[in-house]
Structure 1
Amino acid sequence: MAGALLSTPNRVSLERLVQVAKERGYTAQGEMFSVADMAKLAQETLGCQAELLCGGLGGPNRDGVLQHLITGHPLLIPYDEDFNHEPCQKKGHKAHWAVSAGVLIGVQNVPSPGYIEDSELPGLFHPVPGAPHQPPSFPEESSPGAIFLLSKQGKSWHYQLWDYSQVRDSNLQLTDFSPARAADGRVYVVPAGGVKAGLCGQALLLSPQEGSHQLGLGHLPQLNPAH
């Protein structure tokens, strides 16, 4: 899904992704409990830039994440998946990956030049592709329901709008390996330090390689490293 959003020249099949991940020792069954390994897999197979974000989606990292999404580049987020694919808090027992393809931000005023109003939904504005535009002023982090991520989990048929704070909180509590998986007799690749070290408070910002023909903000520095 992220490769499609990046418009990579060559589509990479799921089978190829799993094959490379197994060859590199990142996975045994298709699981991926390391954001760092996911970054290396994305760079090798999609030919993109993959920036590892540590320290969670909130605080000083929030504006960088929002600016990345406004630019039109995907975000990969590990989180606990509820029965309806939305974020929940199960201490990592339901850990899955989601891709965010955009963001919906509630603002008080009409955005500055560079945005166009949706033809079907009055009050909804989109950045004009290729046109210079200033990102809107982001709501305070304490404002509930002001920011939503347009996200999709692999088993879902449709994109959903998830409250940013719920995604942030789900991502921050990935600490334990699922007891059900631990007891199923199968072998899984879990990084040193477990699920907490591999997933908790981490995400990936994917963008095209510098020098490509696509428009974007380019290379973002690693944000708030935990180590």
Structure 2
Amino acid sequence: MWPASALSSIDAFSRGHCLLHAANDMIQPAQAPPPPPPPTPPPPIFASLPSQVSKFSSTTRAKKLSPYELQQSASKNAKSFDEQVAEACQMLKPVLELDGNLLQPRTHHYVYCSSRHAHGLLQDGPQCGLVALTMAMTALNPSGIISTLTILDKARSKGVTKHGEMFSAQALADLANDFCTLAKAKEETIAMVDSSDILNNPVELMNFFIADEKSLLLVPYDSDFNQHPCVKEGKRAHWAILLGFVLTASADKETESIDCQQINENVSLLNNGAVNANFWAKSESSELKVLARQGKSLRLFLFDPRTLWTSNYNLKAWEPTQEDERHYVLPDGGISEGLKGKLVKLMLKARNK
């Protein structure tokens, strides 16, 4: 056994050693807490979206819709004829207000349309003239619809186009005569005429539409970015079909008694026999627009006829490059000879008239 004095010495040493450790702990600085873990990387951009979204995005980039699928999709969303007429007249309001001619508190739009069967049709490539002709053929004879591809094949066989381009009003009139297979009880007139004889004369323009059962005009013009007529010397040559006209006038006792079918409080469709061109021409407050369709939109447009004529008459300066000449068919003299000052007149009338 250890002597008592030895045990006492060991005990004192142990207590001193513990006190030394405690002192060392007290004088050492406290250690800093460990740093936080680094942030996790952000998730992929499509990670928070449903899986079908990313799948849809990849498939739509890979799949190109055919012209038929595009047309079907657009047609499903197209508005009715009455809705399109009302929308076109509504879009006309700020133009008339800026013009300053119609400042009356109450104005009304009176619409005359030769045929509601000229439904909107979208073009695929440079086919505006052939699409306009397709719409015209459908309007004249709804039971015998002809496709744009059928007209394109015929035009290629005649050597007047390669991809659907149509730089000759006479060639388009000839194509119309090739496809005009109407009912035997009717007769038709299809011809290329001088645009100034109709577009520059409001009375002649109205009388053209109301004179026969169905009267339509195919008009080449310069198309601006919004498809309205512009003057760019033919660099944006385009085709439209004219279906009728819209008269905007102050609502008074004379106009309110006219035979028409009301679409809404501001728009009415004039019935057959209700239009007197001389009456409207004498009205100083009336404003005349033409009702048009063209192949870059399914909606109806309202064009100023004189602005349209100015655009038509400036189709002169487009000069093809050697590359264009290999891809397009142009008449002798270019578009100045083929389109400037020209339009195609289509009329369907009863033989007993």
* Shorter-normalised TM range: 0.7 to 0.9
Instruction: Identify the residue that residue 170 of structure 1 maps to in structure 2.
Output: 311
Which is greater in Rg? 2
Change (3 A) 1:121 1:11: same
Measured in 2, the distance between the counterparts of 1:164 and 1:7 equals 26
Contact 1:112 1:133 in 2 (8 A): no
Offset from partner CA, 1:70-90 (integer Å, 9 cap, x none): 454221100011111111111
Measured in 1, the distance between the counterparts of 2:286 and 2:326 equals 40
Bigger RCO of structures 1 and 2 (CA < 8 A, at least 6 apart): 1
1:148 pairs with 2:282: no
Count of aligned positions: 206
Shift of 1:52: 1.8
Instruction: Identify the residue that residue 90 of structure 1 maps to in structure 2.
Output: 232
Instruction: Identify the residue that residue 217 of structure 2 maps to in structure 1.
Output: 75
Q: Match of 1:27, SS?
A: coil
Q: Percent identity?
A: 27
Compare the two structures and name the one with the higher helix fraction.
2
Measured in 2, the distance between the counterparts of 1:49 and 1:206 equals 6
1:34 pairs with 2:168: yes
Measured in 2, the distance between the counterparts of 1:145 and 1:63 equals 13
1:22 pairs with 2:22: no
- CA RMSD, Structure 1 to Structure 2 (Å): 2.9
Change (3 A) 1:73 1:93: same
Q: Match of 2:238, SS?
A: strand
1:6 pairs with 2:147: no
Contact 1:104 1:147 in 2 (8 A): yes
Shift of 1:116: 1.3
**Which of 192, 211, 216 is the aligned partner of 2:332?**
192
Measured in 2, the distance between the counterparts of 1:156 and 1:176 equals 26
Within 5 A, what are the aligned runs for 1:123-142? Answer: 124-129=267-272, 132-137=273-278, 138-139=280-281
Q: Which amino acid aligns with 2:343?
A: A
Measured in 2, the distance between the counterparts of 1:210 and 1:154 equals 30
Measured in 1, the distance between the counterparts of 2:205 and 2:308 equals 12
Larger displacement relative to structure 2 (75-84 or 64-73) = 64-73
Shift of 1:106: 3.2
Q: Match of 2:189, SS?
A: strand
Instruction: Identify the residue that residue 189 of structure 2 maps to in structure 1.
Output: 49
Measured in 1, the distance between the counterparts of 2:285 and 2:340 equals 23
Shift of 1:183: 4.1
Q: Match of 1:38, SS?
A: helix
**Which of 99, 102, 115 is the aligned partner of 2:259?**
115
Instruction: Identify the residue that residue 215 of structure 1 maps to in structure 2.
Output: none
Contact 1:50 1:204 in 2 (8 A): yes
Q: Which amino acid aligns with 2:139?
A: L
Q: Which amino acid aligns with 1:165?
A: R
TM-score, normalised relative to structure 2 = 0.52
Measured in 1, the distance between the counterparts of 2:318 and 2:285 equals 30
Q: Match of 1:103, SS?
A: strand
1:206 pairs with 2:340: no
Larger displacement relative to structure 2 (45-54 or 29-38) = 45-54
Contact 2:138 2:146 in 1 (8 A): no
Q: Which amino acid aligns with 1:69?
A: F
TM-score, normalised relative to structure 1 = 0.77
